[in-house]
Amino acid sequence: MKKLILIASLGLMMISNSGFAQKTGYVNLNDLLLLMPERKKAETDIQEYAKQLDGQMKTMSAEYEGKVSDYQSKESLMTEPVRLDKQKELVDLEDRIKQFQQTAQESLQKKQNELLEPMVKKAKKAIEDVAKESGYKQVLDTSSGSVLYNDPADDILNLVKKKLNLGAEAATPASGGSSPTPAPKK
């Protein structure tokens, strides 16, 4: 009889504890983005933009190579002031090329972000909607290990502030993913 009561008690505890389990989902955001139809257009636009930058870089490099070749072929005929002027011209052109490379890389990254950001927002909104509709408390991105969605009701910041006696006057820092919504009182 005691065994039956023990088994029944354990069964009831397991059933009641399952109500406390949080439903967590995961998705690979990169794979999702690759499936989106607007991805192909964005990739084409990015490649076209990169080609334009590469073309400009090739033009600058050809100019540099031509000037170096010209300098080397005429160096022995140049006077000291002309030679120094040509050397300075080459150094300045090298600096312009380096600056262009850096600016082009930054510009390409900015263009990529500009084109992909609407897709990422759309995907994250869909993930958040699915999470809410399906009762997920948290959704993780397996491609980056980051949290894509957290149920704001699970934010325990106010409880921790209370535990640390930080009070209401303690400023709440702006955070990347959590909401300043207080956790429910228990």
What is the predicted pLDDT for the residue at 63? 96
**Which of 32, 22, 27, 29 is CA-nearest to residue 136?**
22
Please state the domain extents for the chain. Answer: 23-150
pLDDT in tens, 142-181: 888 888 888 888 788 888 888 888 876 655 555 444 444 4
Percent of the chain with pLDDT over 70: 78
CA dist 15 → 8, 22, 37, 118, 138 (Å): 11, 14, 44, 43, 22
